[in-house]
Amino acid sequence: MASQAYDQPKLRGKRWWREVGWRHIVGIVAIAYCILPLLYVLSASLNPGGSLTGSNQLFRTVAAGNYTELADTNFGQWALNSLVIATVTALGTVLMGAAAAYAFSRFRFTGRRITLTGLLLVQMFPQVLTFVAIFLLLLSLGEVFPILGLNSRLALIAVYLGGALGVNTFLMYGFFNTVPKELDEAAKIDGASHAQIFFTIILRLVAPILAVVGLLSFITAYGEFVIARVVLQSQDNFTLAVGLYQWASDERNAPWGLFAAAAVLAAIPIIALFLFLQRFIVSGLTSGAVKG
């Protein structure tokens, strides 16, 4: 459907407004809705010593002081930690989730339905109160595998991967089902193994959903702080979310300017990632594959 649109002659006048133009109006309103609070943060980040909520004159002062000051903090280390943790988590989630979705979509086995239901229900446990259990679990694990104990970034990734099969699996499962089974049947007749079908055929066909799930789990891991706060204990290991939370909870010194600058910078990887993945998310690989 995408390709046809480009072939059409350029729309003009009323018709353009009716079919396309109004979308720009919606877009502008939507963007205003989206970025107003963020402009507020941006304004605070450019206001040295400023507060987050104290001033309504946006961009009253513009100075890069807060940004240069970040260099003296652990911001760089935190950002690196966040990127590594979120990337590994996203990759792990995509791989394990896709594998599970493949199994659910292409095989019928005992306990399949109950596993699927169970996966969904397990995710509904209220996370807020599990920190005690996670703390004690990592405490014991750390005595056996020190690298999986408290204050380890790898341990945090492992905890996040515990949620790899969940909502995301369902998202992918639905998508896998839209890939015609005739494709794998054909490949099978050609002598491909289930692993070959999975890695070389299916994964390529479902690339859009892999991109979406990858992005979603990256964002989730990147912004998560309730569990990270329990697991990571030293400054060097903090993620951005934990570090920023700590700044935000500093009620007395309230380094809002610094905080806002960090938050602005922290949002950049997400936007970059989205721009990068947009091609996959939006390119409509599936429909092309069906035709080809």
Could you say which residues in the range 246-265 bind other proteins, by CB under 8 A?
246-254, 256, 259, 263
Tokens 């694990």 belong to residue:
141
Binding status of residue 18 toward other proteins by CB under 8 A? no
Q: Which among 61-69, 83-91, 126-134 is the span making contact with other proteins, rule CB under 8 A?
A: 126-134
Choice from 64, 80, 117, 204 touching other proteins (CB under 8 A)? 117
**CA–CA dist 205, 167 (Å, integer):** 20
Binding mask 138-177 for other proteins (x = CB under 8 A): -xxx-xxx----x-------xx-xxxxxxx-xxx-xxx--
Tokens 């205003």 belong to residue:
32
Indicate the residue among 63 and 226 with the shorter CB distance to other proteins.
226
Q: How far is the CB of 233 from other proteins (least distance, A)?
A: 6
**CA–CA dist 210, 93 (Å, integer):** 10
Print the SS3 string covering 27-74.
HHHHHHHHHHHHHHHHHHHCCCCCCCCCCCCCCCCCCCHHHHHHHHCC
Choice from 26, 62, 64, 80 touching other proteins (CB under 8 A)? 26
Q: Which among 54-62, 64-72, 83-91 is the span making contact with other proteins, rule CB under 8 A?
A: 54-62
Number of residues that bind other proteins (CB under 8 A): 145
Q: At what angle do helices 256-282 and 207-223 cross, to 10 degrees?
A: 170
Binding status of residue 76 toward other proteins by CB under 8 A? no
Burial bucket for residue 147 (CB in 10 Å: 0-12, 13-18, 19+): exposed
- CB atoms under 10 Å from CB of 287, counted, come to 13
Q: How far is the CB of 178 from other proteins (least distance, A)?
A: 5
Q: How far is the CB of 147 from other proteins (least distance, A)?
A: 10
Binding status of residue 80 toward other proteins by CB under 8 A? no
Choice from 85, 104, 153, 217 touching other proteins (CB under 8 A)? 104
Binding status of residue 100 toward other proteins by CB under 8 A? yes
Binding mask 204-243 for other proteins (x = CB under 8 A): ----xx-xx--xx--x---x-xx--x---xxx----xx--
**Full DSSP string of 69-127:** HGGGTTHHHHHHHHHHHHHHHHHHHHHHHHHHHHHHHH---TTHHHHHHHHHHHTTS-G
